[in-house]
Amino acid sequence: MCATSKPLPEDPTKYTADALYALIVQSQSKLPATVQHGEGPFVAFNRDGAREPIIWCFNSWVEPLSLAHHIGADQPIYATRSLHALVFDKTAKKLNRLALARLLTQEILKTHAAAPKVLGGNCQAAPIIEAVAHLLIQAGAPAPRLIIMEHELAYSYPGHVLHLFGRQSADYNPFLQGRDPTPVWGRQYCSAAHGFLSAGHGQYFRAPAIHELCGYLRSFIDDAAAGCPPRTGLIEPPTSLFR
């Protein structure tokens, strides 16, 4: 039986929704002039690609620039970012995660005609996209499939989750810490898979790990777009197209 999505707690916040919106939008000024934005807190990369879009929360704009380049022009990515390097107080960042997730969810519901099938997030951005997924479900959307890098979900999730960890990421990879999280995932999610990237923490959007990440993403997105049953257990990435 799948888990259910429960209402998220109300987090206190030091920022208004308008202030959070402004922080994210103003940070887009660091993007190259060739990147077209204007999606509020989201930036569309490979906008004209024909594949199923992915919505991803990153920790800087360098990460989606690299991913969009390596994964191919046919893969649209609607990118936003966490408060990493925008808010420097750790407590303030944590207190504003849910407020930012609510803002992003409102933007998704307002600007995307169809409910997203795939959401992703890495490290500090992963708890934000986790909250977005629950908020979308509570708004009536089907549970998106999640790609979560270097983070273990705080809540049960009524859908499929692919966890990705670095092979050299001792601080974030539970398998390097002597524990096997898969029994917990089996109780916490409808279904789960996991895989590994050949790098340490923070190195996943550059070679060689970016090639493996692209393989995971294209395969995962293809399955979601086709409505295929999600693959479970340990998954090795198809990387031959990205070398």
Q: Could you tell me which of 79, 135, 116, 124 has the C-alpha nearest to residue 97?
A: 124
Q: Which residues contact 88 (CB under 8 A, 6 or more apart)?
A: none
Bridge partners (DSSP) listed for residue 79: 43, 56
Q: Could you tell me which of 65, 61, 79, 55 has the C-alpha nearest to residue 221?
A: 55
The pLDDT value recorded for residue 212 is: 96
pLDDT exceeds cutoff 90 at 213: yes
Average pLDDT over all residues of the chain: 91
pLDDT exceeds cutoff 70 at 168: yes
- Pairing mode of beta strands 54-58, 77-81: parallel
Q: What is the pLDDT of residues 17-37, one digit of tens each?
A: 889 999 999 999 989 988 876
Q: What is the pLDDT of residues 180-193, one digit of tens each?
A: 999 999 999 999 99
The pLDDT value recorded for residue 163 is: 98
Alpha-carbon distance of 42 to 119, in angstroms, equals 13
The pLDDT value recorded for residue 165 is: 97
To which H or E segment does residue 43 belong?
A: strand 43-45
Contact 109, 84 (CB under 8 A): no
pLDDT exceeds cutoff 70 at 243: no
Q: Could you tell me which of 50, 110, 60, 71 has the C-alpha nearest to residue 217?
A: 71
The pLDDT value recorded for residue 92 is: 82
Q: Which residue has the higher pLDDT, 79 or 113?
A: 79
At residue 215 the predicted structure's pLDDT band, cuts being 50, 70 and 90, is very high
At residue 242 the predicted structure's pLDDT band, cuts being 50, 70 and 90, is very low
pLDDT exceeds cutoff 70 at 138: yes
Q: What is the pLDDT of residues 82-122, one digit of tens each?
A: 999 898 888 888 889 999 999 999 999 999 888 999 999 99
Q: Could you tell me which of 221, 177, 233, 223 has the C-alpha nearest to residue 52?
A: 221
